[in-house]
Structure formats: C-alpha cells, structure tokens
Amino acid sequence: MNPIKALLADVPFMVIDGAMATELEALGCDLNDALWSARLLAQAPEKIRQVHQAYFEAGADCAITASYQATVPGFMQAGMTAEEARALIQLSVTLAQQARDAVWQPGQTDRPKPLVAASVGPYGAYLADGSEYRGGYDLDRAGLVEFHRERFELLLAARADLLAAETLPSLEEALAITDLLAEHPGAQAWVTFSAKDGQHISDGTPIEECAAALANCPGVAAIGVNCTALAHIESLIQSIRRQCDLPILVYPNSGEVYDAVTKTWHPAQCDHTAADISGLAQGVEHWLAAGASGIGGCCRTTPEDIQALAEWRRSR
C-alpha cells in the first residue's frame, strides 16, 4: 500500500518536516564534517530525536530521518566499524519513531499517524563535494544500484514507513532506486530531485522526462523536488503533473542560495517575477493549485515554518 496515498485520505495535503541540520546548528551542534548531521547519530542522537519531536509538535505529518549522508563506507572512513555503521543507519529510523511516539498516541483522532520516511541521500552526498546539485557522477546505473543497496536494505529492515530518495540530481540515479525497489516487492519510496530551474533537474534533464520515466514504476509512492529555490516550485509541479498521477511532494529551501563550493548560504537575488514566493506558507495555495500533494521545507527551514503550514491547513 502507498502510505502517502493512505495518509492523504485523511488530510487535504501532507505536511512534511523541515531542515534537520539548521535545527541541530541552532542547538549548538558543529556540522562541519563530511558526515554532516549523520555524525550526530553517534555523538548526540538525543539532539536528532529532539529535532524530530519539534517538527511533529509543529504539526508535521512526516519526518525524514537523519540518514541523508549516513552510509557504511562514510562511517568507516570516519573510523567506525561496519557493524557500528549499520547500527547507526538503523538508529536514524528508531530516533524518528521514538519522537513520533512521544507526540502521537494510538487512537488519537485529531491527526493521522505521522509517517517516518528514511532518507536515502544521493551518491553526491556521500562524496560531500556538492555533486548532488550537479550530477555527472563517475558511477553508471549499475554502480549506483550497488552503492545504494546496503543502506536501502538496512533502512527497510528498520521498518520505516517508506524511503525518501531525495535531492537526486539525475534520472539515472532515480532509476537505480527503482531497480532496488523492484528487488523488494512491497517496498515504497518517494523520489525527489534537486532542480536548477523551473523545468530541469540539476544535471539538465527535463523534469517532465523524469516524471514520465517514474510514473508507472512499482514502489514509487510519489515524485517531486526538494532542496530547490522557491521560485521554481510551481513550474516544476506543473511539469510533473503533466506526466503522472502520483502524489507530488515539494520541500524547497527557505529562499537563501547555497554555494556548494564555499558551503555557505547567501540571500537570494530577487527578480520580482510572479514566480517569486517569499516563504513556504505564502507558496501553499500556488503549489496546491498546481497539483502538489505534500509540502514541507528543506535547507534553512524551521519548525516555525512547518507550524505555519499546519496552521494554514487547519484554517481552511
């Protein structure tokens, strides 16, 4: 069963959570590391659970786990054993589940049971060189299948509600994910791309081509975009909707611009076009009208942003 469609039977759209790293930094955590927030799975797991709980309390229907940059090779390069690495990857799911259990109780009727989506970050996130915003990897589709396989299986075994294959810069990597889904009947995953403009994902492939390729793949629960500028979201939703009937998920950045070379954020240069949307809550009506089924936030968004989305939904 598609868990997103099941949840959407109870709400007009799914509220996805916001940035993990932004909140961890606000709690005083130093994330200047190749493992990024995944390092805290070993060093401060209680902080990760705290952030998940803050998003659930804000009204999120879905938490994305802190496994975006968590891979067995990455942890081993940081000095951990393979066994320790595998345990930490599965811990990412447990922490989100614990946070959900602290906020939502069986039998609660004022909201549906929130989902836990286990993050499957792109190969570029493991490389930690910004290539999740470029593509152009040194691995082909078969190589990408093998790279993703172990974490994919560990997260499924941890009993997440579904996987979140996110910030993918290329269709080839998305198709590698569908190859793994085909090996695990019943497994469900959403696939979201990073996009460079209102029509193309990061490596230049038209988003319509991606949507058409994934529309009928078994196990693909939703398609969408994340870690993308606010101004591009409406056009991207419209392009996806022309090619498929699956739920469309969007969780863009806050509006600031990330420099993958310097690893710093800068204010957006606004061109004052009609597509310019200042903040998640201001974009909701546009995105829902275009065909979105789930809305949340990526980099630099906060529980306050997600609370605004949840309050907007309650007010309608």
Known binding-site positions: 227, 298-299
Which backbone phi and psi does 102 adopt, to 5 degrees? -75, -20
Tokens of 124: 């570029």
HSE value, Cβ hemisphere, 13 Å, CA-based, for 121: 27
- Report H helices in 128-206: 141-157, 171-183
Which residues define the annotated binding site for Zn(2+)? Answer: 227, 298-299
- Report H helices in 70-131: 72-77, 82-103, 123-127
Which parts of 145-252 are beta strand (E)? 162-168, 189-193, 220-226, 248-251
Alpha-carbon span 34 to 206, nearest angstrom: 30
Q: Is the CA virtual torsion 253, 256, 261, 263 positive or negative? A: negative
Alpha-carbon span 51 to 203, nearest angstrom: 32
